Structure 1
């Protein structure tokens, strides 16, 4: 069952998955696709053609513009803004100017962050609150700041990984979560970027 608050504005041409809740004053444009069991907070704007996976939580006053794809199990904190034009001008608009942004499965983006278009946020990556993200973020990386930089790598549970071991057989480094004991494998090249 879908819940749409009476003050929300949802296009008849939008696709909304079962179990999704859309709260006060949200606006969902035509051809937007929102998966199952999502929570769309107060004042959220979802532009035309945006694709959002299942089990996503998009907190109050987030703006998700055309060109953004959000995979399953993603958390977007309050007042996060996605851009979609690297060279914005009020008098020039064209579909060709839209730069794509991909948020991969399980990623979390902290409150008041701004994501410059044309980037990919990796699986289970974590963006600290108030960050300005200008480059791709690797899987499992924790980044924050302006511009956002890698500060460590995190587990799927969100806790910091420790006790890294070099896996000699392939291009991966293994990190272990002290909290849930899960082993996470990090691309060695991404790991080296952090260690510089």
Structure 2
């Protein structure tokens, strides 16, 4: 078959599928504007949000402007997702989840009830959140959810596990495959099972030449931002002026 003709046929087929979904659901313009997704009546999808055809956005869910929901993802009723976010393929967002702006959630991540994610957080592929400390299949423990808070700018690496009830500090970096059992300080670099702190990291994502404890100062090698360590707490002392705007 001619390549151009095959491409045209494929495009026509995709458009026909979107049209069929729109007709079946009665969502009309809202569905068409969102690339044919199943957006239930009452969902607060901003007109600037893009939802792929196989994704589902339940009634009562809210998506901010510029947010994109990729294939096979599900945003439950009551979820609040901010602006300019990216929800990768096969992502689940629970009813009581709050997500800030400019958050990236990669493929195969489930964000369950009682998880709050602030602005500019990165959740790597297949990382895991939990919300019950001691689950049993035969016991309902929805009244025992432990809240997890991911502060602004934090990164969670691929296949990492965040056991419920912890706070990940601002711009903390959780290495791939780590298992976090307790609170993580701002700018902390964590790795291992269970996760332990192995250093400090800048908001740009560069390791800082700081000891784990004591008093010291170090600059980010990329931005020139100056960080101070005082009594086990790392903080941005002075901006170097070259960091990207969102940071």
What is the deviation of 1:188? 1.8
Q: Is the 8 A contact 1:173 1:188 kept in 2?
A: no
Q: SS of the counterpart of 2:72? A: coil
1:194 aligned partner: none
Q: Is the 8 A contact 1:140 1:186 kept in 2?
A: no
Count of aligned pairs: 186
One of 189, 192, 199 as aligned partner of 1:142: 189
Structure index of larger Rg: 2
| 2:226 corresponding residue in structure 1 | 183
More strand by share: 1
**Secondary structure at 1:102's aligned position in 2?**
strand
Query: 5+ residue gaps in structure 2?
Result: 1-47, 235-247
For the 8 Å contact 1:7–1:26, the answer to whether it is kept is yes
1:100 positional shift: 0.2
Write out aligned runs for 1:52-67 (5 A): 52-67=99-114
Q: What TM-score do you get using the length of structure 1 for normalisation?
A: 0.90
Q: Could you tell me how far 1:190 is from its partner in structure 2? A: 4.6
Which residue does the alignment assign to 1:97? Answer: 144
1:155 aligns with 2:202: yes
Q: In the superposition, relative to structure 1, how do residues 100 and 90 fare at CA in structure 2: closer, same or farther (>3 Å)? A: same
Residue of structure 2 equivalent to 1:106: 153
- Whether contact under 8 Å (1:139, 1:186) holds in the other structure is no
Alpha carbons of structure 1 residues 62 and 187: separation in structure 2 relative to 1, 3 Å? farther
**Which one has more relative contact order, counting CA pairs under 8 Å at least 6 apart?**
1
Q: Does 1:17 align with 2:60?
A: no
Task: Flag the 1:172–1:12 CA change in 2: closer, same or farther, 3 A.
Answer: farther
Structure 2 residue matching 1:105: 3-state secondary structure: coil
**Which secondary structure does the structure 2 equivalent of 1:96 belong to?**
helix
Counterpart-to-counterpart distance in 2, 1:172 and 1:92:
48
TM-score (norm 2): 0.72
How far did 1:187 drift? 4.8
Q: Is the 8 A contact 2:102 2:120 kept in 1?
A: yes
- The separation in 2 between residues aligned to 1:185 and 1:48, in whole angstroms, is 39
From 92, 99, 103, give the equivalent of 1:45.
92
- Deviation of residue 89 (structure 1)? 1.2
Secondary structure of the 2:232 match is helix
Q: Matched residue of 1:42: which SS?
A: coil
Between structures 1 and 2, the one with greater helix share: 2
Aligned to 2:129: 82
- RMSD between aligned alpha carbons? 1.7
